Amino acid sequence: MTPALLAPGRRRTFAGLAALSALEAVMLAACASGAQTAVAALSAGRTAEGPLLWLGAAAAGAALAVWGRAAAAEAFGMAYANEVRESLAGHAIAEARGGKRPRIGAVTARMAGDMPALKHWVSLGLSDGAAAVAAAFAGAAALLGAAPQ
C-alpha cells in the first residue's frame, strides 16, 4: 500500500513548506514595490537610498525563503521516499516469511533506482505547487490592492 503524502509525520514539514512559499511570494512582491519606488525616485531626480535598501532587504529575504523552501521540500521528499522504501522492504520480507520464494535482488534493484526519482518528484512537485498557489494568492491580493476604487 502506498503511504499517504500528507501523513501525520509530514504535515508539519508541508505546513513549513507552504509558509515559506507564502513568505517567498511576499518578499518578491516587496522586491517589486522597492524597485518601482526606486525607479520613480530616480526618474524624479531624487535619491533612492531608502527604496534601494528596501529592495536589497526584500531580495535577501526572498533568497532565504527560496533556500528554506528547497530544504523543506528535500526533507519532505526524503521522508516520503523512506516510508515507501520501508513499505516495500516490509512487503518483500513478509513474502519471504510466508513461504514464497522472494525476489529480493529484483526488489532491491528496483528500490535503489526508483526511490531517488520518487523523492525528486515529490520534492519538486509539492514545492513548486505550494509556491504556485502562494504566488497566485499574493498576485491576486496585489492586483486587488492596486485596483482603482
Length of the chain: 149
Dihedral pair phi/psi, residue 115, rounded to 5°: -65, -45
Q: For residue 58, which amino acid is it?
A: A
Integer Cα distance of 57 and 9 in angstroms = 34
pTM of the model: 0.74
Per-residue pLDDT of the chain (149 residues; tens, 9 = 90+): 667 778 887 888 888 888 898 898 889 888 888 888 888 888 988 888 888 899 999 999 999 999 998 898 888 888 888 888 877 777 767 766 666 665 666 666 666 667 777 788 888 887 888 888 888 888 787 777 766 65
